[in-house]
Amino acid sequence: MEEAKQLFKKLKIYSLLDLALIIPASYNDTTLSTTLTLGKVNTLEAKVVDSSVYQGKLRVTFHLTQSGRRLSSMFFRVTPYHHKLFEVGTSHVIQGKLEEYKGYLQMSQPKSIRQIGKITPKYKTVLKESEIASLVELYVTERNLFNEGLDSKEVATLMHIHFPKSMEEVYENGSFKPDFIAVLKFVEAFNHLKKLRGKKVDFPALKALHGDIKPFVEHLPFTLTDEQKTVIEAIQKDLSREDKAAKRMVVGDVGSGKTMVILASVMMALPHKSILMAPTSLLALQLYEEACKYLPKEVNIALVMQGKDEGDYLEADFIIGTHALLYKEDLPQASLVMVDEQHRFGTKQRASLEALAGGDEKKPHYLQFSATPIPRTQAMMESELLDVSLITTTPFEREVLTRTISKQDFPNLLTHVKEEIAKKHQVLIIYPLVEESTEVPYQSLEESRGFWEEKFDNVYVTHGKDKQKEEVLLEFREKGDILLATTVVEVGISLPRLTLIVIVGAERLGLATLHQLRGRVGRNGLKSWCYLYSNSPANERLTQFCQTTNGFDIAKLDLKFRDSGDILDGTIQSGQRFKWLDMGEDEEVVARAKNRIKIS
């Protein structure tokens, strides 16, 4: 048992189904061939009729028992063992690839098989063949698979794959049968969901929250969308429980109105306190401005940022801040903790955040918000760890035209930039790098700025390493015409007058990033443009991106163009790769697996 544990550790597997999903890479089949098949491995009964040495190689001629034909074989790495084994008159079962040359059958370096009629799976793992084979034999049993919650078809399929009686049972045209692949997809999803469920830990809440959202909703100068209302209702249900602290992630597309959901949640928490943490002071400031604008006047709001506080956070009902919150030792306990764009905080900050959201026995209700859409399949998976709400629609129609452009389109682009500035609109140009590089075939921010500063007034420049970037963005918002930047402006900042964005070297960026950048324009319903500047504008990814506006469809496209990855940390591009499950296409498979888990 201890030895098996060590082997499981070596394989990095944690469940019986992890083992069952280590599928043979190939099979060694010693069943006698019934016909001669050229170009394939054949297993044939044969008798040695002649043997000779030619230039150090051993040439053996066999008489094939079944067909009566002759077959010539050449052995290149010859040892005395070969001479003894293939003496004239000896009978064998030989195995190798069968070829024909000028009407003569040939088989290079055939093996003499001792045991016929056996199919041996070949596994590619860090273990020795004998070790993995004994693990599979010991643990992959019908009883164990049924105990894991699989049905009879799934159990039978896995047993066939690991212990086949014939190759026809498993393969069709050289690969696994389609219904076997369907079962492997399901088992992979089911196994993953089971592991996620095992990680979920619930705590009682500090308090049940029943604050009234009516005074807030009725005074909004617009109507909430149906999706916003649905998410708010789900959160109301979450927060009203005392036996279980809420853990919910709200994923909304760019401009889908997540802020209103945040503010409604603050109302639900009253008269108790709520805290919201944002990844940058710019986002914190923006949320603070919106909270002051839309929440009823009697709600006391405070802002906490490095070296800059607004209001008294000790007295406030709603505290908004950056990670500076984590360093306030006298931060009051809040019944509701919210985080915007959690994935942008480092591991240490997340741990401090957990502590902020922690009591020992009871925890505050916890909501996280993200503007990075994820495929629906991933949302279904995530919901085994925490509840997930998606907001896929926007409060108003955004009219953003996306086009790929290249060098010859530059004069027209300049004209368009001038037209937008004349209308008091703003322009954003994103460069791939700050400084020149031989690796990237595009101009950098520093190389280009002279051109724009010479031709236009009110040109602002910022990038990731710029210590002043937040001040630059705030000043640009009020006074600027053109902003030159790297992808630092990707998440969150609202620039209401921005109508044109140019992304230089667009093919170098992931589709999710392109979508976030495109989300900077057209925030207030103004007609807007997103130009993807590329030396290879016929790029298939960019073409499809231009035709897709919904972030959730973009997330699906992103999966199509790269492997789907680990779901546990919310990122798609890293970590464990699913071998059979396609996160873009297999929504129905995941739904069935979730259903099975609910019942079990």
Whole-number pLDDT of residue 562 = 61
Specify the 3-state DSSP secondary structure of 51: strand
Helix/strand/coil (H/E/C) assignment for every residue in 492-514: CCCCCCEEEEEEECHHHCCHHHH
DSSP string, 106-164: EESSPEEPSS-S-EEEE--SSS-HHHHHHHHHHH--HHHHHHTT--HHHHHHHHHHHS-
In this prediction, residues 1-19 reach a mean pLDDT of 84
| Residue in this structure with the two tokens 């060694």, named with its chain if needed | 28
CA distance 273 to 271: 7
Q: Give the model's pLDDT for residue 359.
A: 61
| pLDDT at position 262 over 90 | yes
pLDDT per position as a tens digit, 156-203? 999 999 999 888 888 887 788 889 999 999 999 999 888 888 777 788
395 cis-preceded (ω within 30 degrees of 0) = no
pLDDT more than 90, % of the chain: 38
Q: How confident is the model at residue 565 (pLDDT cuts 50, 70, 90)?
A: very low
pLDDT confidence of 333, banded at 50, 70, 90? confident
Q: In DSSP terms, which residues pair with 461 in a beta bridge?
A: 484
Among the residue ranges 405-419, 470-484, 495-509, 577-591, the one predicted with the least confidence is: 577-591
- What is the SS3 assignment for 268? helix
- pLDDT band at residue 570, thresholds of 50, 70 and 90? very low
| Cβ atoms of 369 and 339 closer than 8 Å | yes
Residue 410 CB burial class (10 angstroms; 0-12, 13-18, ≥19) = exposed
Of residues 571 and 150, more confidence is placed in: 150
Pairing of β 301-305 and β 426-430: unpaired
Angle value at C-alpha 69, between 65 and 73, nearest 5 degrees: 90
With vertex at residue 289, the alpha carbon angle to CA 370 and CA 317, rounded to the nearest 5 degrees, is: 85
Share of the chain above pLDDT 70, in %: 94
pLDDT confidence tier of residue 215, bands split at 50, 70 and 90: very high
Mean pLDDT over 303-314 rounds to: 86
Query: Does the pLDDT value for residue 206 go beyond 60?
Result: yes
Measured CA to CA, the distance from residue 70 to residue 49 in angstroms comes to: 9
Domains of the chain (ranges plus CATH)?
2-20+132-176 (no CATH), 41-112 (2.40.50.140), 214-391 (3.40.50.300), 400-548 (3.40.50.300)
Mean pLDDT of all residues in 522-533: 85
Encode pLDDT of 90-149 as tens digits: 999 999 999 998 889 999 999 998 888 888 899 998 888 888 988 999 999 999 999 999
Only one residue has tokens 């809420």, namely 246
Give me the sheet containing 365-370, strands edge to edge: 308-310, 301-305, 318-321, 274-277, 336-340, 365-370, 247-252, 387-391
Rg of the chain taking only CA atoms, in angstroms: 32
Residue 80, classified by CB atoms within 10 Å of its CB into exposed (0-12), middle (13-18) or buried (19+), is exposed
Q: Are 82 and 58 in contact, with CB atoms under 8 Å apart?
A: yes
Mean pLDDT of 57-73: 92
**pLDDT band per the 50, 70, 90 thresholds, residue 465:** confident
Contacts 24+ apart (CB under 8 A), 33-37: 36/64, 36/67, 36/69, 36/98, 36/105, 37/98
- Over residues 437-443, the mean pLDDT reads 77
